[in-house]
Chain A
Amino acid sequence: MSTISKPKQFQLPRIFPRPKSHKGLWYWLATVDHKKIGTMYGLVAFFWFLVGGIEALLIRLQLGQAESSILSPEVYNQMFTMHGTTMVFLVVMPLSAAFFNWIVPLQIGARDVAFPRLNALSLWVFIFGSILMNISWFVGGAPNGGWFGYPPNSSLGFNPGHGITYWVMGLNILGVASIAAGLNFIVTIINMRAPGMHMMRMPVFTWMTLITSVLIVLALPILAVAGIQLTADRIYGTNFFNSEAGGDPIFWQHIFWLFGHPEVYILILPAMGIVSEVLPTFSRKPLFGYTAIVFAGLVIGFLGWFVWSHHMFTVGLGPAANTAFTVTTMLIAIPTGVKIFNWISTLWGGSIKLNTSMLFSIGFIAMFTIGGLSGVTHAASPSDTQQQDTYYVVAHFHYVLFGGSIFAIFSGIYYWWPKFTGWLLDEKLGKISFILMFIGFNLQFGPMHWVGLNGMPRRIYTYAEDMGWEGSNLAATIGGFIIAVSVLVFLANVILSKRNKQNSGGDPWDARTLEWSISSPPPHYNFVEIPKVNNIDDWWYRKYPELLEGNNQNFKKQKIEVEDSSNVDESKIHLPDLSYYPLIIGIGLTIAGLGVMYTYALVAIGLIMVFWGSIGWSTEPVNEDSKEHH
């Protein structure tokens, strides 16, 4: 339409043609569609969930009875290190990212995220970083220093070999992915909301994504600093943490936990967001105390920065520091309590539909409460000196991260699955998998409270028969395998439901937020028309306009259909073309990371790829010429 032609821009000569087709492998490798990227995040993270789960099962097998020798001590140490690292960085974070990608643009009425190619970069860096970390299994042993990697045990002097170096390089690379994604979602949420969607009209899941993204952008660089220092200690002979040469191992603990505690909220806030979507939908009434829940999330995100030393109550920081961190830690119970009470009040007086997604969300509140309460016993630091580094702590954080995050993620999977695919998951199998997971989870982690108070330390590969720990450990191992069966039932559910597809339509749950106002799966441009937002839960009030007039009874649902995208002139919708440069940068970064450990030639190759990708990326037009002049 415009007749003014742009001046010719420099463009890096292409080695491969820019993919155009929206089908096939090339499309998936070069896609910048937030939904496709979300799908890939989800699939890859779910693969690592299975891997981390198998690692957990092997740990449980080893501990199922006293003095067993299924795993050697060395392999056991690698197993718990990789289980923790995998579940935190390769499972819960990217699964949350999968939901961010899929849902946030739909919830705010946008066509994509703010920086679609940066989004693709995050995905590829995550995928290759996760592979890099796991290559270590095959080249001389996986990392064995725990997910917290305390030096000097993780220093070269006590831990020669590449294991820990793979771990720290992997974290460095994954950090790039997370920070880029965090920035992307902050900009997206701030700038790309549909007209009328004020901050206080945003769905709570989007709010929690925003808070999480801010935490990611602030916390991950701290880990990057620690990671670079440890890398330098291990490869270039510096002595930041090397106590043999006078370095300070406590320094590591401070920076690791200064990252590590906000990280805990990075893992749980998205889960809280999911639950805050599911509960009102299936109670058929609004979220109780929307403002309080949003502010409680903000307060948690803020206070999360002042509690890191509660991971270090036994380090010997002195009574003054312990007092300060005890008090700040206890404060977090208050906003957390507000959320829990508001969720219960959302259920209260509702018309509750107990389907699989809802059961997982209710399970989340029930289990997360237990984790929160055991957390208060930790905050009481004199009592914590008895529990620190025992199985009581293992029980506590699995109630938060499994009973919390993973339950909520499953709730989210069942909730948004019809939006992802256009068909429903089977409810019967879903409920079976929920019940199995609920029983297995409590059987695995419930007794750990007892065995921890009974003195069983963490990270021990064996224990003697006369310690009185066998019963609880056997129960835990059985519980672990029940969880495994539940995950298999879920996988069977996906396969069987795919076979006899039950069409879901665009809005199967009579839900509240904008993502349900369009067809399922959504067209690649999401909204035919960018919606105008007048309310929180705008889609709900479009269906039930009488509610706005205070009429609660005897009214009819407005006949309103989800957006029809069958007869749309797509040429009027602007979306960026595909780009393979993010993939190239992701591969290059990983090769460079490997090279740091082995040879500078690889670093050179990797950096050339990163450079090539960056220049190509920054000079390629968003759309090829044919589309330039709309």
Chain B
Amino acid sequence: MTKKKLKQIFFPLINSFLFIFFISCGFGFDSPLSTFDAQGPVAQLQKDLFLFVFWLAVIVFFLVEGAILYASYKYRQKDEKLPAQIHGNTKLELMWTVLPSIIIVIIAVPTVMGIWKTQVMPDEENSLIVDSIGHQWWFEFRYPQEELITANELHIPVNKDVIVNIESQDVIHSFWIPKIAGKIDMVPNHQNKLWIKADNPGIYYGQCAEFCGIAHALMKFRVIVHTKEDFEKWKNDMRTPPVALNPGSEEDEGRKLFIGNCSMCHTHDSYKKAAYHKEIQNQNIRWEEWKKDKEYSAIVSAPNLTHFGDRLTIGAGLKENNLETLSSWIENPDNIKIGTRMKNHAAIYNSEDQFLTSNEIDQIAKYLLSLKPDKVNVITYTNNN
């Protein structure tokens, strides 16, 4: 084979490698779900371990690929003579059995240490405990120590160990906050635990990472990491009733519509005393009802909407929470998210005499946005992304 032909074959190969390298580097690791922007000890350990293995792999990569390219070029056919007929070399073969074994041991030690470091839970008494339950296609968060309940936005304090008890009500989901910790699956009939801890206050993205049906791509959540003081304020807020409404106002009309049409599934008053256990009970009843009649049950599991006006997003982390997006959601959840049980079960979409007018939709949206704790504590949300 001539040199010219070789150029034709090898240069495209090398070029394509470089091209991919530049393309990939050009885009960086800037996603809100990037695993490279570790913001907590768990994610940090996982990232460090990855990079450790990665750099070892890079060395091996260049040795192996270099040897392949070198050998294919250097030993290309030049004449019809047979090359030396070598059948093997025990010493060499022993070497490349032993060397990789040593590399494997070098990798295995920090790996195994990492497993035990990240998967053994911190002391429960000094940790915040959160129960997270996966639903098709949203996340429920319960705080058993505080008896608080919310959905799709997980509030935690900075620099504190948090143990998340993880379960699912329906199918398998996966609980993943890339910047804070690797994922763990949410499995029905199994309880998993995940240790998380955040280094800096801010807003972080969470994402379901196990295929869970039609809206899997749209099942997200936010993690709001507060300073210690802000977290105390948030807990207080969650126990404070919402702002009183002027009778006859649009919001008040919305309230009546909400009570009539939505409140069977969406609890929105969990600021009350003893509301916590009642809500858990209600969620179970809703689930049992849905199981009995998956097509037509009147009630289904649904996110708790207490102090919804304070939420940053709607639709499980999909869109910014404002009048426009919220009205669009209420008008037809399909506008924002496919497959919701709300769309399939709520009478306002399924029996003609109960369809809402656009005015009514607007009123409900305004009411929901008015759901904020009365004595508003100012909490500053810092967005890290």
Contact = CB atoms under 8 A, between A and B. Distances in A.
Interface string B338-377: 1100000000000000000000000000000000000000
Interface in B23-40: 23-24, 26-36
A74 B9 CA distance: 42
B85 A285 contact: yes
A294 B217 CA distance: 44
B32 A455 contact: yes
23 contacts: A73-B338, A246-B189, A283-B75, A285-B83, A286-B87, A319-B120, A326-B108, A349-B84, A351-B79, A352-B72, A354-B77, A365-B68, A366-B68, A369-B60, A373-B57, A377-B54, A380-B50, A383-B53, A386-B43, A435-B13, A442-B16, A450-B29, A552-B85
B213 interface: yes
B4 interface: no
B323 interface: no
Given A373-B57, A475-B20, 10 more contacts: A77-B214, A158-B136, A289-B93, A316-B192, A318-B119, A319-B119, A333-B100, A350-B83, A373-B60, A454-B33
Interface of B: 1, 5-6, 8-9, 12-13, 16-17, 19-20, 23-24, 26-36, 43, 45-47, 49-50, 53-54, 57, 60-61, 64-65, 67-68, 71-72, 75-79, 81-89, 92-93, 96-97, 100-101, 104, 107-108, 111-112, 114-120, 136, 166, 170-172, 174, 176, 178, 181-185, 187-190, 192-193, 205, 207-218, 291, 294, 338-339
Contact of B183 (A373, A374, A385, A451): A385
Given A337-B100, A382-B114, A383-B50, A457 B57 contact: no
B185 A472 contact: no
Given A288-B88, A382-B114, A456-B33, A158 B187 contact: no
B114 to A, nearest CB: 4
Interface of A: 73-74, 77, 145-146, 150, 152-153, 157-158, 243-244, 246-250, 283-286, 288-292, 314-316, 318-319, 322-323, 326-327, 330-331, 333-334, 337-338, 340-342, 344-345, 347-354, 359, 362, 365-366, 369-370, 373-374, 376-377, 379-390, 431, 435, 438-439, 442-443, 446-447, 449-451, 453-463, 466-469, 471-472, 475, 544, 547, 552-553
Given A314-B185, A389-B174, A453-B36, A383 B49 contact: yes
B40 to A, nearest CB: 12
A292 B81 contact: no
B214 A552 contact: no
8 closest pairs, A vs B, by CB?
A455-B33, A385-B182, A460-B217, A316-B192, A243-B188, A382-B114, A446-B20, A383-B50
A152 B171 contact: yes
A511 to B, nearest CB: 14
Nearest to A377: B53
Given A153-B171, A314-B174, A386 B72 contact: no
Contacts of B100: 333-334, 337-338
Contact of B108 (A330, A383, A469): A330
A181 B190 CA distance: 39
Interface residues of chain A: helix, strand, loop or mixed (majority)? helix
B118 A249 contact: no
A384 B182 CA distance: 8
Contact of B210 (A74, A283, A389, A449): A389
B83 A283 contact: yes
A451 B101 CA distance: 31
B213 A314 contact: no
Contacts of B207: 455, 457
B87 A290 contact: yes
Nearest to B15: A439
A292 B93 contact: yes
Given A292-B93, A455-B207, A351 B81 contact: yes
Contact of A460 (B68, B190, B216): B216
B107 A369 contact: no
Contacts of A73: 214-215, 217, 338-339
Contacts of B213: 77, 153, 158
Q: Which of B86, B190, B205 is most buried by chain A, counting CB atoms within 10 A of its CB?
A: B86
A389 B115 contact: no
A447 B23 contact: yes
Given A243-B188, A289-B88, A438-B13, A362 B68 contact: yes
A77 B23 CA distance: 28
Contacts of B26: 471
Given A316-B187, A386-B35, A454-B31, A352 B119 contact: no
B204 to A, nearest CB: 11
B9 A443 contact: no
Q: Which of A283, A289, A338, A463 has the most CB of B within 10 A?
A: A289
Nearest to B112: A323
